[in-house]
Amino acid sequence: MSVRVLVQAEPFDIGAEIARLLETGQTIGGLSSFLGVVRGGNGLMALELEHYPGMCEEVLTSLARQAVERFDLVGCTVIHRVGRLVVGEPIVLVLAAAGHRAAALDATRFLIDRLKTGAPFWKAEEFADGTRTWVDSRIEDDHAAAGWE
């Protein structure tokens, strides 16, 4: 079983991360992925992401291990970027590898739903007019995360 969790400012290489999981020698019948991208609209130019170093990685690792156990994964990768990210840049990558596609798909959804509300990240939005506002949690994200309990 392979669990990889990174919190970093640098871009990640999706192809290299997928190849790393596929090269584990495990029997993989499905590998599911989610790539989150900074979305624009309403004049949004960028997001500034801050995190609680150490604790953030601990929480993400705990979630990844829960996914491995719950969905019988053979491998899992969670990479979340921090710092200033402009519209269109990748922000989060979740990969789940399992013996069967259903487990991989369910694990990916579980991980993205749970990390949206459970990991200690703070986001500030930067707009074209120069304003900057902190992002509040969304009730929809809370409901999605609660659905896995």
For the chain, which residues make up each domain, given as ranges? Answer: 2-146
CA dist 34 and 80 (Å) reads 12
Strands (E), 9-107: 30-37, 44-51, 73-81, 83-86, 90-98
The reported pTM is: 0.93
- Tokens in use for 126? 């930067």
Per-residue pLDDT of the chain (149 residues; tens, 9 = 90+): 689 999 999 999 999 999 999 988 778 999 999 999 999 999 999 999 999 899 999 999 999 999 999 999 999 999 999 999 999 999 999 999 999 999 999 999 999 999 988 888 999 999 999 999 998 877 786 677 677 78
pLDDT score, position 78: 98
Residue 98 confidence (pLDDT): 96
Q: Which two tokens stand for residue 14?
A: 């999706």
User: What's the pLDDT score for residue 43?
Assistant: 93
| Domain 2-146, CATH class in plain words | alpha beta
In this predicted structure, what is the pLDDT of residue 141? 66
Residue 119 φ then ψ, to 5° = -95, 140
